[in-house]
Amino acid sequence: MIMVIEGKSCRLRWCNQLDPIINRAAFSEEEEEKLLHAHTIHGNKWSHICKFFAGRTDNALKNHFHVIMARKQRELLSSISKKSNLTFQIPANNNVASKSAITSPIDESNSTCTNLNLTTRPLLNYQAYGSQMSMF
């Protein structure tokens, strides 16, 4: 069996991988800052943003942008988990009928959550939109 490679896939492979002009080096911190700034101005228009980065493809910029966002999210979540050190305290008398308390350093006095009913479940998509989902 002879494989026939179409023109579009050949062109994309050349543009994204084989072209010797492509810069495959790791992104510098300066490039990351420039990428974040360009994204705030131009949004997800990667082909337009790649004009500001010599040797970087739009696909490489998009992928690295998502790497930066994932890294920032991990850093944010780890800093939040360190700040909100939740503890579960059980009274010393070991009475099962006594009340336990969950304490948190987070101020929850301005919380808008009023429904504390733990017996109901949220509706799933197919339950909330049952008539629309019946065709599946």
Over residues 45-76, the pLDDT tens digits come to 999 999 999 999 999 999 999 999 999 999 99
DSSP H or E stretch at residue 87: strand 87-89
Radius of gyration of the chain (CA): 26
Q: Is 1.10.10.60 the CATH number for 27-84?
A: yes
**Token output for 105:** 């350093």
* pTM as predicted: 0.55
* Average pLDDT of the residues in 26-34: 95
103 three-class SS: strand
What contacts 19, CB < 8 A, 6 or more positions away?
A: none
Distance CA 99, CA 91 (A): 8
**Token output for 2:** 């002879």
Domain ranges of the chain: 27-84
The tens digit of pLDDT for each residue in 83-126 reads: 776 555 555 665 555 555 555 555 656 656 555 555 555 555 55
